[in-house]
Amino acid sequence: MIAADAQAEVYGVRKNGESVEYRGCVYGRSRSFEVGFIEECIGGGACGGTRNVTLAGALVARERFVASQVLGTKWIIEVEDLRNGHVLHKVPTGTSESGDPKIIGAGLTSAIVVKSDGAVAWIDENLVAAGLQYEVHVLDRSGERLLASGTDIAPRSLALAGSTLYWTQGGKPYSTTLN
């Protein structure tokens, strides 16, 4: 079991004797959907996987990433409805400052939260010229936006209570409404 709530669950299934695929389903329905796969590297320097899987009702949010010499590096946030398999949101984790078109997203996520209406928030780890900094992002009815950035954001401090999003920066609590 990877994640579960009162309406749905995400679980791992071993495939081909080695790799693990993540699948999700809504309770009482006979169909499940592929949610991702465990982080792994497959020859030729290509690595990828699914991280930070979280549920809110029938919606699952996760980060998918791939790092390959051929394909480049991509860090993507996805929100999917497990009732029908439709992807509601698919956006980069942030904006890379590298200028390399093969890099999509800012970096790996350290936390993701999702609401049952599809609003999602995350903290990413962005390697900028000054070093590693963390960024708090949201995507909701008001659009996609960066709420905070800095080296002093607690990377796993993201929390959601109702529609209120919380995080810690510089030892102080911050909050906003996730619409």
pLDDT digits (tens, 9 = 90+) for 96-116: 887 888 999 999 999 999 999
Tokens for 89? 């949101």
3-state secondary structure of 171: coil
Cβ–Cβ under 8 Å, residues 134 and 125:
yes
pLDDT digits (tens, 9 = 90+) for 107-166: 999 999 999 999 999 999 997 767 889 999 999 999 999 999 999 999 999 999 999 999
pLDDT digits (tens, 9 = 90+) for 3-51: 999 999 999 998 876 778 999 999 999 999 999 998 888 776 789 999 9
- pLDDT recorded at residue 129: 65
Closest by Cα among 6, 162, 94, 154 to 174: 154
Asked whether the predicted pLDDT for residue 174 surpasses 90, the reply is yes
Would you place residue 66 in the very low, low, confident or very high pLDDT band (cuts 50, 70, 90)? very high
- pLDDT recorded at residue 69: 82
Sign of CA dihedral 63, 121, 107, 3: negative
- Which residue type does 64 have? R
* Rounded Cα–Cα distance for residues 179 and 177 (Å): 6
- pLDDT recorded at residue 128: 75
